[in-house]
Amino acid sequence: MAEFLMVIIGGLKIGAIYALAAIGLIVIHKATKTVNFAHGGLVMLGAFAAYLIVVELNWPYWLAYVLIPILIGIVATLLEITILRPLRRADLFIVIVATIFLGIALSETFRLAQNTEMLAVPAAIKGPPMMLELGEDLIIITREQIWVCLGALTVGVIGLLIFRYAPAGRSMRAMAANVRGAQLCGYSVNRVYAIAWFVGGALAGLAGVFAAPSHGVSPELAISVITAAFVAAVIGGFDSLLGAIIGGLLLGLAETLSAAYVSSAMKSAVSFLLLFVVLLWRPEGLFPEAKGRDV
């Protein structure tokens, strides 16, 4: 029982990071109709920025949580303005290919600049693990697990609330629902796309800060995160932020439970198995967006 609970907590921690990455992916997709395959690269940049701030510059950790979302948000906005904006009238396929190669470029630039296997970032919250007694067994929870679970989920929920209620969120939702209609309400496509990339990039950057201590900073981080975020997003319906959060948590749990009780080799197989099961059972994902009549 104690072991099971520890496995669950471990799964939630990984899932919370997946969720955060998936939300950013969804925000950009909803508002701009672009599947951003460079999202993993932005998460990696966020993790790398955490390394620079915490390890190289030795600044306090909280600065990483404040500066990195802004920084990666700006980077993402610049990518939109310089690379994707000129492609706006291009074929969707070209835009997707552009983001794929953008992601590869981010990873490879990192690989070239940092000639090292991996950069390590210390945990944000230090201290001995907490022990809870459960009968004869002991449940051990590290402070980092609590911090990542709660922190990443809080950020995710804040992102969701912004999207749902803030004026910037309304502009993105309007753009998502109907690009022409949104323009007729005075929402500028360029501006809203830039905002969406900023918010998506900021969420990716934060996912990187949360992921850095447990994954390390390396190009592999980009690949593992984009894969997981994509699966989580599809499970959640690809258009729902709440769905992305639930999808991320489900994926983290499924991976960890299968590693614990089946085999670690099953881990990635399980994520795709989960994807297939969800899509067979509910092809529109767990949380399809309410679609009204065609208007």
Partner 1 sequence: MLQVTNLRVAYGPVEVVHDLSLSIEAGGVLAILGANGAGKTSCVEAIAGLLPVAQGKVIFNGADIAGRPASDIVRKGLALVPQLRELFPNFGVEETLEAAMGAAVDRQSLTIEEIFDYFPVLAERRKQLAGSLSGGEQQMLTIGRALITNPKVMLLDEPSAGLAVGIVRGLIDIIKRIQASGVGVLLVEQNLEIAQAVADTCLVLATGRTVWEGPMSEAIHMEEIREAYFA
Partner 2 sequence: MQAFWKAIARAATGLAVAAVLAVSAGPAAQASSQGVTDTEITIGALGALTGATAFIGGPGRDGIQLAVDKINEAGGINGRKLKLIFEHAFTPAESVAAAKKLVESDKVFVLILASGSTGAAAAANYVRETGVATYNIYGATPIIRKPFAKNVFHSAIPGAEVSSQAMIDRAFEARPKAKKIGVLAGTYAFPQANKKATIPLLKKKGVEFVVEEFDQGSRDFTSQLLSFARARVEAVLIFGSFSEAGFAIKQGPEKGLTGVTWVVDGSAVNDAIVPILGAENTKNVWGYYNAPYFPGQSDAPITAYKKMWTAKYGKAPQGRPNLYDLVGYGSTYVLAEAMKNAGKNLNWDSLIAAWSSLKNSKPSNLGGVEITFPQSFSKTNHQGSTELGKAAIKGGIWQVVPK
β-pair partners for 130 = 141
Task: Provide, rounded to whole angstroms, the least separation between the CB of residue 294 and partner 1.
Answer: 8
Is residue 2 a contact point for partner 2 (CB under 8 A)?
yes
Interface of this chain with partner 2, residues 221 to 240, rule: CB under 8 A: 224
**Binding site partner of 3, from partner 2, partner 1, none, Cβ cut-off 5-8 A by kind:** partner 2
Is residue 90 a contact point for partner 1 (CB under 8 A)?
no
Nearer to partner 1, 265 or 293 (CB): 293
CA distance 228 to 261: 20
Extract long-range pairs of 132-137: CB within 8 Å, 24+ residues apart.
134/1, 134/2, 134/5, 135/1, 135/2, 137/1, 137/2, 137/3
CA distance 199 to 151: 17
Nearer to partner 2, 168 or 259 (CB): 259
Contact 129, 237 (CB under 8 A): no
Nearer to partner 2, 12 or 79 (CB): 12
Out of 85, 97, 187, 260, name the contact with partner 1 by CB under 8 A.
Answer: 187
Is residue 147 a contact point for partner 2 (CB under 8 A)?
no
Task: Provide, rounded to whole angstroms, the least separation between the CB of residue 3 and partner 2.
Answer: 6
CA distance 29 to 36: 7
Out of 90, 105, 132, 138, name the contact with partner 2 by CB under 8 A.
Answer: 138
**Binding site partner of 292, from partner 1, partner 2, none, Cβ cut-off 5-8 A by kind:** partner 1
**Binding site partner of 184, from partner 2, partner 1, none, Cβ cut-off 5-8 A by kind:** partner 1
Is residue 173 a contact point for partner 1 (CB under 8 A)?
yes
Out of 18, 215, 233, 237, name the contact with partner 2 by CB under 8 A.
Answer: 215
Nearest to 116 by CA among 240, 7, 1, 219: 219
Nearer to partner 2, 216 or 288 (CB): 216
Task: Provide, rounded to whole angstroms, the least separation between the CB of residue 29 and partner 2.
Answer: 26
| Side chain identity at residue 127, one-letter code | G
Is residue 273 a contact point for partner 1 (CB under 8 A)?
no
Residue 213 buriedness (CB in 10 A; 0-12 / 13-18 / 19+) = buried
Please give the C-alpha separations between residue 216 and each of 49, 106, 131, 236, in angstroms, as whole numbers: 12, 16, 26, 27
Contact 209, 50 (CB under 8 A): yes
Strands in the chain per DSSP E:
130-134, 137-141
Contact residues for partner 1, defined by CB under 8 A: 167, 170-171, 173-174, 177-178, 180-191, 289-295
